[in-house]
Each structure stands twice: as C-alpha cells, then as structure tokens.
Chains A and B, each alone.
Chain A
C-alpha cells in the first residue's frame, strides 16, 4: 500500500541488520505493523526515520501511514529516549497533591520540558495520567520503580540516586 518504493536509504549510519531480520521474519504476514514496530523499538530504543523508511519499503505501506499508527499509541517513540524514564503522574489525585511542584523540580534540575530528553540521554521526562497508585499520591515512576508521597525535596534525593548510582 502506498509509496512503497522510498529510496533514500543511502545515508545510513545505523546498522540495519536487526531491522532486516525482524522484517524478514514478518514477511507476508498480514497486519504485522504493530509487532514489527514494537520489536524495532525494542532493538533501537525508538523509531528512527531511516528504519521507518525501510519498514515502509518492506511492508509496502507509506511512511505517513506508519507514523500515523506510531503516533496513535503512546508506547511508540519517535525521538531518542533517555537511559531513565521519569514519569510524573498528573492524574487527579496527584494533581491535588501538588504534582505540579514535582514537574517544576524536574524542569529546573534537568533543564528539559515534558516529553524531552536530556542532552546526555540520561533522562526522559514524561507527564502521564493516573498510574493507579492514588493512595500514595503524588507519584513519580522512574523506570520501573514507584516512588510515592513525594515532595520536591524527596524527589531530589530520588534523582540523585540515578545521577550518582550507589557504588
């Protein structure tokens, strides 16, 4: 479907071999876009344009269609992400418990806004909706660790742990 014959795969600095492998695996499988994107994101961290061009060529789907799908689901990322993902909950309970001050802390300390990644690619900061832990609001999740009943100061301590990992 669509503009299959995208041709600008020349300026490659990325190693496409893993992507190729994934695409070969899904060759001729109907409706395989989402699993393909998931596997590719797993492999490369995010959906980079050069790889999407390759996916487009192989799946015979236009880049716009693919990106349309990718931007629909929050699980897909079009920009590089940090080593650590910080999710500040902005759900109702956390909002009431001043989650805003936590966001402000992060913005102040890491010098990035929501949905951005620090230059050293250490942190990505996201604001998300209810994480289902309202009882310990306000909540911040870093990678897979849940930190509850936070204040800006406590958050500072949490972040320190990731910046200078315990020896």
Chain B
C-alpha cells in the first residue's frame, strides 16, 4: 500500500494510505481525545470529541479525525483554541447527565471518559441538569450494565455485532430516552464474550467477577495464554496480592486482537478456589490423608520400583495431559519411557482419535496444513467441515467474522447438526448433511471438481503421485451428484456451489472439526478431505490451509511431545530402529522394547486385562473424559496403584492412592501449542497456591527420588532439550521467549520440500448407524461454549451462568414423545442411564440427541461405547 505524507502539529509523518487522522496521530504519539472510535470496529463518529483543524490546499476546515482519511500534504492541528473550545463543550454535554459516581465505579482509573475530562481540565460544567439515576441492571452473573454512565458511543453494540456476531444489544428508543439494551428489556442472553466490557470507554459495562475486589491501579497485569481451548488466546491476568482478580485482554498481543470468549474472560475463579488440592495426599486405611512432599514422593517411588521389579516397567501406564504445558508433557513421557521403562503412555485425545496424529502429519508433509490460525483472516473461502466453531473455538469464529466483514470471504458450513454460526455473510452455504454421509459428500465434491475440470488437472497430475488412479476410480464410481444429494439430503445446488467456491481462485481455509472425528469412520472421511485439499491445492497452487480441531489448550502439544504409545517426541515412529537409536543416544538411556499397545488397545484396555498394574495420571480426569465410562472404571478397579497429579480432587483423583497437587497455568512457566501449531509462552503470574508444584517439577523430583539425575531447574531447560531432540520444535529459541506475546511457528512447514500427495482412496462408505427398536436414538457429543472440564466447573461465575447441562432433542422427536423445553428426561443406553433437562431444538437432526461433554459433573461417558451409542429417551414424570 502506498504511503501518505502529512503534518500533524508541526511533525512530518508518513503513514499508510487509508489510515485515518486519528490513528495517524495516535500511532505517532500525538493525542487526540475520542471515545467512540475503536480500530477493530467500524467507524461511527458519534462522540464528536476528536475534532481537529485540517488545512488542505490552502483551505482550513474542521474535521472529525476518526472519520477523515489522511491525504497527501495536509496539515493537521490538534490543539487550536477553537478545537479546544469545541471539544470542551462536547464533553460538557456528555457529562451533563452522567452521575459522576467515580468513587463507586470499577472503571475509575482506567476510564476513557475520566481521562478525557482530566486532560481537558474540565471543572463542573455549565449545565445544571438532573443526573441520571436509573437502577443498575444486574440480570446475569457475569455482567452488569449501568445506563447512567453510558455516553452512547456504540462500541459495545458494534463489538457484539461485528466481532461476536450476536447483536444481543442495540440502541433502544430515541432521543433522551436512548439506552443500550436488549429487545423488550429482557435479561441479557448472549455468548458472554465480555467484548462489551473490554471496549466500553466508560464504566457502563462491568465485569462482575471483579466487583469491589480491587481498584484498577492496584492490579498487576501479566499477559499469558488462555488455558481452555485450542485457539490459544492471549489473556491478561489482573492480580492483586497473589490472587487473580479478573482477566482482561490486549488488542496488540497474541492472535486474538483482544477478543476472548466467556471461558477465557470470566473462567478464572478456579485458580483461587478453595477446592484446590494444596497438599499431597496419601491413601491410608482407605482415606486420602495429607502428607508431606517427601513422604508422598518416597511412597510413589517405592511403589513404582516394586511394581517394576515384579512386573517390569511396562506394567505401569502413563496418561499425559491436554491441559499441561509442553515442558510438563515432554518430561512426563521421558520419565515414563526412561525411568519407568514403559511405552504404555497416552493422552485422551489420541485415545479418542487414534488416526488423527498420523493424518495431520500427512497434511504437514504435503503442505496443505495451515501455518497458523491467523491465515483465516486472509482467506477468500472458509469451509467448516463438522466444526462447531461457535461452541468449540469461539475466537476462531471472531477471526472468521472479521474476514467475512472486511474481505467478503465466502462461508461454507457443513455439519450433520444444524449448528449456529452467525456472521454478516449473506447467502452463506449450509450443507446440513445426513449423519454418516460426510465421506460421500466430500468424495462428491472431489468428483465434481475433477469431472468438470474446475481446477488445473494437468498441474494436479504432475504434482501428486497417483492422480490417474483417483481419476479412474472416480470414473468407475456410480455416485454422481444426484445420488449424493439424495443420500446426504443436501441440495444439488448447494453441492455444486460448494465445489465451485472451493475450486475458485483464492485462498481456502478449511477446519476439520470434532463432529467428523467423533464418527466411527473418521479416518476415511479425513482421508477424503485430505484428497480434496490436495486436489484443490495442487490444481490451484498453494491455496489450501487446513486446520484440525483440537479440543484443549495443549492437545496439539501433548501429542507433539510424544505422550502417545506409537510415536516418540516429534512423531518419530517408535518401531523404527533408527528413530529409537537417535532418541536413546540423546537421552542416554535404552528404551523399552515393549511396544505392546496397538490401535485397538489402549492403556485402559491393558489395565482391564491385568497387564497394567499401576497408573500414573498427570492433569487428566479419565474417569469422566475417557469416552467409555464403564471400561475406564473397570480399569481403575483392577489397577493396584494409582498416582494422580492434578489441581483438584477430580473423580479420578478420588480413586488415587496418591494425589500430588499441581499448580495452574498462571502459577508456572512453559509453553502451549495451539491448534494452528503455534507455540506460545506462558508467564508466571502468581506464586504457587498452597504446597502445589508445577507438573514438570514434580516429575523431576520423582525421577531424582528414583535415582535419576533430572537436573532441570526451569521449563526453559526442558524447552532447550525439546528444541534439540524434537524435530518439529527445532530452532525454538529460549532467548527469544520474550515475555510479551511470544509465539513461534514451526519452520517444519517450509524447511522440507513438500511431499507429493498420495491419494489414499477409500470408498464412500456410509457410517452404519445401527438403531434398534429398543434404543432408537443416536447420542452425539461435542463441545460447549460455556464449560470445559475441571476448570470451568470450579469457576463459580461460569457455573452460575450455566448450571445445567441440557440434552438437545430434535423438536419433531420431542413432540412425538411429548417432551417440552425444561422437562426432565431420562437418557438410557445399554450401559447406563442419566437424567438431564431437555432443550428442544432444530440443531440436532431427527433421530439423534446431543449432550455436551464439557460439563464435567455430567458423566455422559458412562452411557457411551466406542462408536455412536444408541439410546432411548423418556420423560421423567
């Protein structure tokens, strides 16, 4: 973009074309008052505070600087007496009805209105009007709204519409009666992203988790990475006296432009919760009793040694954590593999989708993987396949909306559930396919693109390995668009427009989501998707960025670090002798030959069958998170010795023989890897709560107890080792771990030559969804916006916001069995039953019900078996 030269207050400046005068000044340290303009929102020009004097081609005029783009050679003055007079009187109007109740306002000290008033040296205004005195609106547990303080700048309205896509609030009424509010003045029912609080320049919107607990200037602000989902937003922790008081954000840090979701923004109360485990616990005569670290670690090391002596190391199973840092996980697997001598380690995400790691590696090697999540903002087409972005990765939703708003990006949402994704996109494409037909849908897209030569097939042929094979198979296939449309229940038009959009020039950003991964035929579907990506990538040259949904903040990292049975750190195949040798050399230890786990058998299977005698669980609650509740409980019953390392006394910890208290993400350092494979650094904010310790430290201490010299003194040293021994983290430099907003994108993407894609062709199978007379429904599970596991469960504000886990039932199905919203419903499978309140909806297809997995106190896994679970529902009288 070309640059423009101008002068502001005598200073010569050069700024990019399109900048407005307001930002040109601000970016160059020149202050112009202004309360309604916000760089991430559309310009509005409502507060009238930002007036400046502009001289252009000899003519001098007054302009609102936020509404005026810079132009060549203009001269701007921000501080003439006229400007000052005008601005001051605007402020007088703005303050005329304001209650001036700063002493009781949490915004005081960081308030735009207060600052401008102060800067203009205003004293009591000339207007003697009644101060507004409407009651505070407090209709939800997270936010309160005080209309008296509102200057109607409109920022909250815009953030809610443009960034969050919700438009829960808008201007209501007109003239003096105008307020910001909901329709019919109903209680706020929105996504509670807190965007309105973040952008409000006055004290109108307030974060209730802070209420009267601290003044803004007492708060220490430390940026770090959110611990909930795999987006990896940068959050700013506000702490006082070693307690977390609230979470804010910073528009200039991280990948999220200051946007957060309800969990990231308000879900911090677990950190200083009184339910934290603060001291080690050892089970004595059946009861978990407090113990010293010394005692607990002695005991664990003695028990582990006994089991190793008697049954060999492989009799100990390890479960790593999707919540812990890379450093914690790396050290955990190293400990298991070297000190204990077992390769029977895993993490829940890999147990749920055992083929995913391998498939992601394919996408990396073929260079169709996205190099970072931010690429979404440059996309021309977005394709969400089985990805419920709104619930699972809310801030990715905000990024997508930004792309749609600013670049007119086209959106395609394909899902068996009629999920919600709100944006300003007009005529977006929704492919609401029949459950189990996703592979057919994707293969049909491939067929159309090839048959109609929508991409350059010559290029595809030369840059992939076996395109001919694919082509002849496509020719032979009898599933054309008509048949596919019938099977999938997606209109031919929609299928056709989707293939056109995907093949069309421009960048495609594709998210493969959990709804795909949950299907028993996930592997086939993902392979088909990889084929589709490779086809349009090769035929349209480097246009695809594919991202796989990861559920937790470090689901990617725990797999990268090799807390899986079949891969050493960095996805080095453990069965490959040369890989073993490299790792053995660098660790100076011989690895166990036993690789007894197979795809069909996980740690808990081995435990159930008695092959595993002890379990070491770090930061995971498998009793609830393992997808087959009955099996995991059996396994724990069989196992003789269980060590659980966690922040809380989870269902799993309650079964442990030893519980080791750990520190949360704000009490330690380390790194998380998000689902865009960007590695980001955590900053330590507060001292460890109670006697808790960071997980890596505990692992170190235990290793030392067991006679190994684990001499790591900080996560930095561990990351140094990772950078040397884990190929995909090669080159990550500790010295670059700058405190503010550190992130690192692996160079693995551009270092090696891309491998030619090999089309792995699987036939278009329909998932066999068995339904019996007795159990006529299919149980679907997925993410929820408002909760995610142990942390949100222990954050009281989130719990009061979402205290109930609903079962979503298709409206037509519900009507037939006479179930209405809010009715108590019994959900029963062959395994178990549970009672939940009903929400009737058209989000779930007929014949299916949906229950979120994220309400940890609702053990929906007790009902489940591998694959889709069949259930029946009935109303509880």
For the complex, is A128 an interface residue (Cβ under 8 Å from B)? no
In the bound complex, CA of A52 to CA of B170 (Å): 15
Mask: chain A, 61-81; 1 = CB below 8 Å from B; 0 = not: 111111110011000001000
The verdict on A3 contacting B811 (CB below 8 Å), with A52-B183, A78-B184 known, is no
Cβ-neighbour of A2 out of B166, B171, B172, B173 (below 8 A): B166
B168's partner among A1, A3, A71 (CB-CB below 8 A) is: A3
CA separation between A4 and B420, bound complex, in Å?
Answer: 8
Residue of B nearest to A53 (CB): B183
Which A residues between 1 and 29 are near B, CB-CB below 8 angstroms? Answer: 1-5, 7-8, 10, 28
Contact (Cβ within 8 A) B167 A1: yes
Minimum CB distance partner of A68 in chain B: B170
B166 touches A72 (CB 8 A): no
Q: Are A2 and B174 in contact (CB under 8 A)?
A: no
- Using a CB-CB cutoff of 8 Å, which residues 262-313 of chain B contact chain A? none
Asked if B841 is an interface residue, CB under 8 A from chain A, the answer is yes
From 29 to 85 in chain A, residues with beta carbon under 8 angstroms from any chain B beta carbon are 49, 52, 60-68, 71-72, 78
Contact indicator B184/A1 (Cβ below 8 Å): no
In the complex, are the beta carbons of A7 and B842 less than 8 A apart?
A: yes
Complex Cα distance, B424 from A1, in Å, reads 5
| Count of chain B residues with a beta carbon within 8 Å of a chain A beta carbon | 28
CA gap between A2 and B183 in the complex, in Å: 13
- Please indicate the chain A residues that have their CB under 8 angstroms from the CB of B780 in the complex: none
In the complex, what residues of A have CB within 8 A of residue B424's CB? Answer: 1
B170 touching A64, Cβ below 8 Å: yes
Minimum CB–CB distance for B784 against chain A, Å? 16
Determine whether B169 belongs to the interface, using a CB cutoff of 8 Å to chain A: yes
Please state if B167 and A65 are interface contacts (CB–CB under 8 Å).
yes
**Complex interface: chain A residues within 8 A of B840 (CB):** 10
B149 within 8 A of A: no
The answer to whether B161 has its CB under 8 Å from any CB of chain A is yes
B170–A5 contact, CB under 8 A? no
| B165 interfacial contact with A, CB 8 Å | yes
The answer, yes or no, to whether B182 is at the interface (CB within 8 Å) is yes
Contact of B166 among A7, A8, A62, A66 (CB under 8 A): A62
Query: A67 and B174: CB pair below 8 A?
Result: no
**A10, B811: Cβ atoms closer than 8 Å:** yes
Given contacts A1-B161, A4-B422, A5-B420, contact A72 B171 (CB under 8 A): yes
Known: A3-B168, A4-B422. Is A64-B173 also a contact (CB below 8 A)?
no
Total number of residue pairs linking A and B with CB closer than 8 Å? 68
Q: Taking each of B170, B418, B424, which has the highest tally of chain A beta carbons within 10 Å of its own beta carbon?
A: B170
Most chain B CB within a 10 A radius of its CB, from A1, A3, A68 = A68
State in angstroms the CA–CA spacing of A1 and B173 once bound together: 21
Contact B183 A72 (CB under 8 A): no
Contact flags B141-170 to A (C-beta < 8 A → 1, else 0): 000000000000000000001000111111
* Shortest CB distance B377–A (Å): 20
Instruction: Looking at the assembled complex, report how far the CB atom of B430 sits from the nearest CB atom of chain A, in whole angstroms.
Output: 11
Chain B nearest CB from A18 CB (Å) reads 22
Residue of B nearest to A4 (CB): B422
Contact A2 B161 (CB under 8 A): yes
Beta-carbon contact of B422 and A64 below 8 Å: no
| Known A7-B841, A72-B173: A2·B184 in contact at CB below 8 Å | no
Judge whether B168 and A64 touch: CB under 8 Å: yes
Contact check, A64 vs B174: say whether CB atoms are below 8 A apart: no
Which chain B residues border A60 with CB–CB below 8 Å?
Answer: 426
Q: How far is the CB of B20 from chain A (nearest CB, A)?
A: 25
- In the bound complex, CA of A91 to CA of B396 (Å): 54
A67 touches B183 (CB 8 A): yes
Mark contacts of B180-192 with chain A using CB atoms, 8 A cut-off: 1 yes-contact digit, 0 otherwise. Answer: 0111100000000
Instruction: Indicate if the CB atoms of A66 and B183 lie closer than 8 Å.
Output: yes
Residues 414-441 of B at the A interface (beta carbon under 8 Å): 418, 420, 422-424, 426-427
Chain B residues 836 to 877 lying within 8 A of chain A, measured CB to CB, are 840-843
Q: Which residue from chain B places its CB closest to the CB of A30 in the assembled complex?
A: B426
Give Cα A76 to B811, complex, Å.
33
Instruction: Flag if B166 contacts A3 (CB, 8 Å).
Output: yes
Q: Tell me which of B168, B183, B821 has the highest count of chain A C-beta atoms within 10 A of its own C-beta.
A: B183
Please give, as numbers and ranges, the residues of chain A lying within 8 Å of B182 by CB-CB distance. 64
Q: Is the CB of B172 within 8 A of A67?
A: yes
Please, how many angstroms separate the alpha-carbon atoms of A60 and B422 in the complex? 9
> What residues of A have a CB within 8 angstroms of the CB of B843 in the complex?
5
**B167, chain A: closest CB distance, angstroms:** 3
**Which residue in A8, A28, A64, A78 is a CB contact (below 8 Å) of B167?**
A64
Shortest C-beta distance, B785 to chain A (Å), equals: 13
- Given A2-B165, A10-B811: A68 touches B842 (CB 8 Å cut-off): no
When distances are taken between beta carbons in the complex, the residues of chain B under 8 Å from A72 are 171, 173-174
Residue of A nearest to B188 (CB): A64
Partner of A64, one of B169, B427, B811: B169
B residues within 8 A CB of A63? 183-184
Bound complex: CA A5 to CA B422 (Å):
9
State in angstroms the CA–CA spacing of A60 and B427 once bound together: 10
- Given known A-B contacts A1-B161, A2-B422, A49-B184, A65 and B170 have beta carbons under 8 A apart: yes
**A61–B184 contact, CB under 8 A?**
no
Q: Is the beta-carbon distance between B171 and A68 smaller than 8 angstroms?
A: yes
Residues of B within 8 A of A8 (CB): 821
Instruction: Say whether, besides A64-B183, A66-B183, A78-B184, A1 and B422 are in contact (CB < 8 Å).
Output: yes
Contact flags B625-663 to A (C-beta < 8 A → 1, else 0): 000000000000000000000000000000000000000
Write the chain A residue with the least CB distance to B428. Answer: A60
- Shortest Cβ distance from A69 into B: residue: B170
CB distance from A91 to the nearest CB of B (A): 16
Nearest chain A CB to B806 CB, angstrom units: 13
Chain B positions within 8 Å of A52 at CB level? 183
**A2-B162 Cα distance, complex, nearest whole Å:** 9
For residue A75, give the distance in angstroms from its CB to the closest CB of chain B.
Answer: 12
Q: How far is A92 from B805 in the complex, measured between Cα atoms in Å?
A: 58
* Cα(A7)–Cα(B821), bound, Å: 11
Closest Cβ–Cβ distance, residue B839 to chain A (whole Å): 9
Chain A residues near B184: list those with CB within 8 A. 49, 63, 67, 78
**A residues within 8 A CB of B161?**
1-2, 62, 65
Contact of B173 among A10, A62, A66, A71 (CB under 8 A): A71
Most buried by A among B422, B424, B840: B422
A1 CA to B405 CA, complexed, in Å: 11
Given contacts A2-B165, A61-B167, A72-B171, 6 further A-B contacts (CB under 8 A): A3-B166, A3-B422, A8-B821, A62-B166, A62-B170, A72-B173
Could you jot down 21 A-B contacts, CB within 8 Å?
Answer: A1-B161, A1-B423, A2-B161, A2-B165, A2-B166, A3-B166, A3-B167, A3-B420, A10-B840, A49-B184, A52-B183, A62-B166, A62-B168, A62-B170, A63-B184, A64-B170, A64-B172, A68-B170, A68-B172, A71-B174, A72-B173
Instruction: Mark B residues whose CB is within 8 Å of A.
Output: 161, 165-174, 181-184, 418, 420, 422-424, 426-427, 811, 821, 840-843
Across the A-B interface, give the 3 residue pairs with the lowest CB-CB distance, nearest first. A2-B167, A68-B170, A62-B167
